Amino acid sequence: MAPNEVSGLRVAWEHPMPGQAALPARCPAVGRQPEDLISLREKFVEATLAASSDLAMAVVRTAPSLAALRPVPRRVLAVFAHPDDEAYGCAGALARYAANENAATVLLTMTRGEASSMGPQRGLTPTQVGDLREQRLEQVAEILGLDGLIVADLPDGQLAKLEFRDLAAPIQDVLEHFEPEVIITHDARGVNGHPDHIAVHWGVRWTRGGTWGSTCFTRLALVAYPPETCEAAKPRLLFPTANEDIDVSLELSAAEIDAKEACLRVHEGLITVRPVPGDDRPSRPPVEHFDLFDECFAPPLSDLFDHLLVADAPGT
Least distance (Å) between residue 135 CB and Zn ion: 17
Radius of gyration of the chain (CA): 18
Least distance (Å) between residue 194 CB and Zn ion: 5
Nearer to Zn ion (CB atom), residue 195 or residue 300: 195
Least distance (Å) between residue 116 CB and Zn ion: 9
Nearer to Zn ion (CB atom), residue 116 or residue 241: 116
Nearer to Zn ion (CB atom), residue 198 or residue 246: 198
Site for Zn ion in 69-108 (CB under 5 A): 81-82, 85
Beta strands of 54-211 (E only): which ranges?
A: 58-61, 74-80, 103-111, 148-154, 182-185
Which residue from 284, 283, 290, 315 is spatially nearest to 305, judged by alpha carbons? 290
Least distance (Å) between residue 36 CB and Zn ion: 21
Least distance (Å) between residue 86 CB and Zn ion: 9
Q: How many other CB atoms are there within 10 angstroms of residue 178's CB atom?
A: 27
Nearer to Zn ion (CB atom), residue 82 or residue 136: 82
CB-based closest residue to Zn ion: 82
Least distance (Å) between residue 197 CB and Zn ion: 6
Least distance (Å) between residue 186 CB and Zn ion: 8
Q: What share of the chain is helix, strand, coil (3-state, %, to 5)?
A: 40, 20, 45
Which residue from 187, 269, 270, 258 is spatially nearest to 222, judged by alpha carbons? 187
Beta strands of 44-94 (E only): which ranges?
A: 58-61, 74-80
Least distance (Å) between residue 200 CB and Zn ion: 9
Nearer to Zn ion (CB atom), residue 81 or residue 104: 81
Q: From its phi and psi, is residue 224 left (phi > 0), alpha (psi between -120 and 50) or beta? A: beta
- 8 Å CB contact between 158 and 111: no
> Any long-range contacts for 22-27 (C-beta under 8 Å, 24+ apart)?
23/164, 23/202, 23/205, 23/206, 25/163, 25/164, 25/165, 26/160, 26/161, 26/162, 26/163, 26/164, 26/167, 27/159, 27/160, 27/161, 27/162, 27/164, 27/167, 27/195, 27/198, 27/199, 27/202, 27/203
Least distance (Å) between residue 89 CB and Zn ion: 9
Nearer to Zn ion (CB atom), residue 81 or residue 144: 81
Separation in Å, CA 80 to CA 25, 211, 239, 266: 20, 22, 17, 17
Q: Are strands 103-111 and 148-154 parallel, antiparallel or unpaired?
A: parallel
Asked if residue 288 binds Zn ion (CB under 5 A), the reply is no
Nearer to Zn ion (CB atom), residue 85 or residue 153: 85
Nearer to Zn ion (CB atom), residue 198 or residue 262: 198
Nearer to Zn ion (CB atom), residue 82 or residue 205: 82
Number of residues that bind Zn ion (CB under 5 A): 3
Contacts to Zn ion by CB under 5 A? 81-82, 85
